[in-house]
Amino acid sequence: MFKVSTIFRRALTTRGPPIRLVAVARCKIEKLLYRGYGLGRTKGKALLVPRSAPGDLLETHIVESHRSYDIGKIEQVVESSAARVEPPCTFYKQGCGGCQWQHVHYSEQLESKRAILLELLERAHVLNPSIELEVIASPPFYYRARFSLRVTRRGQTALFRERSHEPVVLDYCWLLPDELNGLLQTLQGHPAIVGCHSLQLWINEQGQLGLETFPPLPKLKALELQWVIEPVLLLHPLLATRLVFTVEGLRYDVGPNSFFQTNRYLNPRLSRAVGDMAGSGDLVFDLYCGIGFFSLAVSLQFARVLGLDKNPANIVLAEANAIRNGRGNVSFLLADAASGLPVSEHADCIIVDPPRAGLSPKLLQEISERGPKRLVYVSCEPPTLARDLSRLKGFYHPVKTILLDLFPQTFHFETVTQLQHLD
């Protein structure tokens, strides 16, 4: 299927840099993998090729060689995959690493994500035949509700080049709504952002914009920046500014250093998915609750809701959000979920939405021992989801998974999985 057509040596001198062998290999791409690479094979060894598409026949340079796989760079597309499309973004064509799959038709991106999820669950031995899998697509562009960029020393906004820490300076991104691209163009190269290492741009569903700088600017510089960007809100710890989102009739205030889900089109669907899977009962725990997105979403279904997060900024906002929405049955705790459950009460359901590292062995053990009837696992990192479901095997079995494509054009996706206790 492949052939190594040339092997040549660079710098064949005795005193120069170490000799590096660079092979050119022809390969057919079988499928897309998590992290974005296409998978081909050279002499049975995996060849991972960025920016390839399933069905491509490629001439590639092998640029890195590892024990069980090589990394290839496309030299020539010999036969193009039927799934290839022309990427709309000039920065993507220049190597911007913010997206990995702009060259792949959106229907193929969705199909690949579905296949990646099923394969990960199968390999972890948690894919039972009765599990229901639903895939929810997003509008493929302009979907971000918040977006982070680097700032160079000269105040230029940038993302990293793929597989590198080299900045690609940009003043337009296809993942952003027009209003955020307008803000990006105002900020590009502006002296008021010199000294920040990164920015976060925000937009709520009414089109109100927000901006956060990292680190937060000293107060006088912050006031100067607020003046430059009017009427955009500068989210800054000393200015006590809040941006208000409304999802499924609930009001969520976000502020500096707080978390909010990123896809402006799918946030209502995500909220409903968790609400439907959580069911109802006396008490639900919402672990990794952020500013209370799911805690409030399930607050009419349970007599009591207890949310937990380790970020104090989130907990302050979560408490204020519960009060603003008139939900007196919802309370929050500042605690580290990795150390286990800080309360001894029995919950009917536990919702978890951990960062990419997934659940700690201690928390998994406590959940298994306490044995709530239902577990709703929200994950942005399918490999750790598969690992944790396999660790819960024997206590819980997955009933339904919804794949929400919160991040089109990239390899990332979100899943919400309902698990039922094995009686």
Ligand X SMILES: C[S@@+](CC[C@H](N)C(=O)[O-])C[C@H]1O[C@@H](n2cnc3c(N)ncnc32)[C@H](O)[C@@H]1O
CA distance 30 to 409: 19
Are 387 and 379 within 8 A, CB to CB?
Answer: no
Burial of 326 (0-12, 13-18, 19+ CB in 10 A): exposed
Round to whole Å and give the CA distance between 94 and 170. Answer: 11
- The yes or no reply on residue 309 touching ligand X (CB under 6 A) is yes
The answer to whether 352 touches 377, Cβ cutoff 8 Å, is: yes
294 lies in the site for ligand X, by CB under 6 A: yes
Contact 337, 287 (CB under 8 A): yes
Determine if the peptide bond prior to 215 is cis (ω within 30°): yes
CB 421 within 8 A of CB 372: yes
Structure tokens at 216: 């937060």
User: Could you say whether residue 290 binds ligand X (CB under 6 A)?
Assistant: yes
Cβ neighbours around 172 below 10 Å, total: 15
Residues 6+ positions from 368 with CB-CB distance below 8 Å: 392, 394, 395, 396
Q: 37 vs 285, which CB is nearer to ligand X?
A: 285
Q: Distance between CA atoms of 28 and 13, rounded to whole angstroms?
A: 35
CB of 296 to ligand X, least distance (A): 10
Query: Residue 257 Cβ, how far from ligand X at the closest point, in Å?
Result: 9
Minimal distance, residue 356 CB to ligand X, in Å = 9
Q: How far is the CB of 288 from ligand X (least distance, A)?
A: 3
355 forms part of the interface with ligand X (CB under 6 A) = yes
Which of 37-45, 85-93, 226-234, 286-294 is the region at the interface with ligand X (rule: CB under 6 A)? 286-294
Binder among 148, 198, 208, 311 for ligand X (CB under 6 A): 311
Residue of 37, 101, 293, 377 interacting with ligand X (CB under 6 A): 293
Is 358 among the residues that bind ligand X (CB under 6 A)?
no
Structure tokens at 120: 């990960």
Q: Binding residues for ligand X, how many (CB under 6 A)? A: 18
Under a CB-based contact definition with an 8 Å cutoff, are residues 233 and 211 in contact? yes
Minimum distance from CB of 281 to ligand X (Å)?
19
Whole-angstrom distance, CA of residue 212 vs CA of residue 235: 5
Between 42 and 261, whose beta carbon lies closer to ligand X? 261
Q: Taking the complex as a whole, how short is the minimal distance between the CB of residue 54 and ligand X, in angstroms?
A: 30
3 state DSSP class of 243: strand
Closest approach of ligand X to the CB of residue 338, in Å: 4
From candidates 42, 188, 226, 314, binder to ligand X by CB under 6 A: 314
296 with 306: CB under 8 angstroms? no
- CA pair distance 338, 355, nearest whole angstrom: 11
Taking 3-state DSSP, the helix, strand and coil percentages for the chain, each rounded to the nearest 5, stand at 25, 35, 45
CB of 390 to ligand X, least distance (A): 21
Contact indicator for 30, 39 with CB cutoff of 8 Å: yes
User: According to CB under 6 A, which one of 112, 138, 188, 261 is a site residue for ligand X?
Assistant: 261
The span from the CA of 283 to the CA of 366, in Å, is 17
Residue 148 structure tokens: 């982070």
When CB distances to ligand X are compared, the closest residue is 290
- Given the complex with ligand X, which of 226 and 415 has the nearer CB atom? 415
- Give the per-residue contact string, 214-253, with ligand X (x = CB under 6 A; - = no): ----------------------------------------
**Residue of the chain from 91, 92, 147, 288 that contacts ligand X (CB under 6 A):** 288
State the nearest-atom distance from the C-beta of 298 to ligand X, in Å.
Answer: 11
Strand partners, 38: 32, 49
Residue of 310, 327, 370, 421 that binds ligand X (CB under 6 A):
310
Pattern of binders to ligand X over 324-343, x per CB under 6 A? Answer: ------------xxx-----
CB nearer to ligand X: give 152 or 198.
198
211 or 291: CB nearest ligand X:
291
Shortest distance in whole angstroms from residue 354 CB to ligand X: 6
Distance in Å, CB of 176 to ligand X, minimum: 20
Binder among 70, 353, 405, 414 for ligand X (CB under 6 A):
353
Residue whose structure tokens are 């710890």: 237
Q: Which residues sit at the interface with ligand X, rule CB under 6 A?
A: 259-261, 288-290, 293-294, 308-311, 314, 336-338, 353, 355
